[in-house]
């Protein structure tokens, strides 16, 4: 090595090391500074609350043999589609615009970055999803309480907290699929297929296949939260299955992001 006679850089003050909380702050700024976040979450509220409350109003005075919780199911099933779209976009919008290269140049710890994205999105979806299911159930209570059969507190907790948890988990599943596929339209298509196809395919399958597909289909998982599901696992059991599946896809997403060229 030759002696370097070029001007040397002045001594810099000690800089803080990159930490997970830096990435969390950054991801929070990202998710709240694009309009797609607002639109997808507004759509989730509109579908869950709008369809739920419309059902409650329709059954006013003629509710018999069931609980008012049932009315929330339709809105809940379609309301998860915008949540899934937002989960996908949290990652794929960075690939679509090339922003991912800027992000990973500023923060090369890829595992931490994905963890920050997952945490920020999961928390946001859990809080707002629970608020949406909670308001919907509250609406049913106000309109239809005392008519038909009132749900137990356990059923209400499952519909509200279980519903919020389900939305956050299915969104996190979508975020992982987005990380694996890196393409918005592709990942959203895959997620729509996963949400809808198992239930539809089950209708054309022999009995043993039919039961498995039907039980573990996201539509049956959703129905179980509202006291309508098939199978022996029940709402909380099926949420556990969804959590395990989400963990597996998220693990695959971590591995892919660490190994791939950007």
Partner 1 sequence: MIEAHGLTKKYGEKTAVDDLSFTVRPGLVTGFLGPNGSGKSTTMRMVLGLDTPTSGTVTVHGLPFHQLPNAPRTVGALLDAKAVHGGRSAHSHLLCLAQLAGLPRQRVDEVLSVVGLTEVAHQRSGGFSLGMGQRLGIAAALLGNPRVLMFDEPVNGLDPEGIHWIRQLMRGLAAEGRTVFVSSHLMSEMAVTADHLIVIGRGRLLADLSTKEFIDRHSAGFALVRTADGADGVKQRELLAGVLRKAGGQVTAEPDGALRVSGLPLPRISDLAWEEKVRLYELSPHQSSLEEAYMQLTQSSVEYRSTPDAPAQELAEVAA
Binding positions for partner 1, rule: CB under 8 A: 4, 6-10, 12, 15-19, 22-23, 25-27, 29-30, 33-36, 93-94, 97-99, 101-109, 261-262
d(CA 72, CA 141): 11
Which CB, 112 or 147, lies closer to partner 1?
A: 112
Minimum distance between the CB of residue 209 and partner 1, rounded to whole angstroms? Answer: 40
CB nearer to partner 1: give 59 or 94. 94
Q: How far is the CB of 110 from partner 1 (least distance, A)?
A: 8
Nearer to partner 1, 63 or 118 (CB): 118
Task: Write down the least CB distance from residue 235 to partner 1, Å.
Answer: 37
List all residues 6 or more positions away from 243 whose beta carbon is below 8 Å from its beta carbon. 169
* 101 vs 251, beta carbon nearer partner 1: 101
CA 5 to chain centre: 57
Looking at the Cβ atoms of 102 and 189, the one nearer to partner 1 is: 102
Min dist. Cβ of residue 261 to partner 1 (A) = 4
Q: Which is nearer to partner 1, 29 or 145 (CB)?
A: 29
Q: How far is the CB of 2 from partner 1 (least distance, A)?
A: 11
| Smallest separation, CB 82 to partner 1 (Å) | 17
């Amino acid at each position: 090595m030759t002696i370097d006679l070029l001007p040397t850089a002045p001594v810099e003050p000690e800089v803080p090391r990159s930490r997970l909380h830096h990435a969390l702050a950054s991801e929070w700024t990202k998710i709240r500074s694009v309009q797609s976040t607002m639109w997808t979450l507004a759509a989730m509220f509109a579908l869950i609350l709008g369809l739920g409350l419309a059902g409650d109003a329709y059954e006013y005075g003629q509710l018999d043999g069931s609980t008012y919780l049932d009315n929330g199911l339709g809105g809940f099933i379609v309301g998860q589609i915008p949540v899934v779209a937002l989960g996908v976009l949290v990652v794929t919008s960075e690939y679509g615009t090339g922003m991912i290269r800027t992000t990973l140049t500023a923060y090369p710890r890829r595992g931490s970055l994905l963890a920050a994205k997952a945490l920020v999105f999961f928390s946001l979806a859990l809080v707002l999803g629970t608020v949406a299911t909670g308001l919907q159930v509250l609406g049913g209570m106000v309109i239809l309480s005392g008519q038909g059969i009132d749900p137990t507190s356990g059923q209400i907790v499952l519909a509200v907290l279980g519903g919020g948890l389900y939305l956050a988990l299915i969104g996190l599943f979508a975020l992982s699929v987005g990380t694996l596929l890196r393409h918005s339209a592709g990942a959203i298509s895959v997620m729509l297929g996963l949400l809808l196809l198992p239930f539809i395919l089950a209708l054309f399958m022999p009995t043993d296949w039919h039961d498995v597909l039907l039980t573990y289909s996201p539509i049956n998982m959703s129905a179980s939260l509202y006291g309508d599901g098939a199978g022996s696992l029940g709402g909380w059991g099926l949420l556990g299955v969804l959590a395990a599946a989400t963990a597996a896809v998220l693990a695959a997403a971590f591995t892919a992001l660490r190994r791939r060229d950007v």
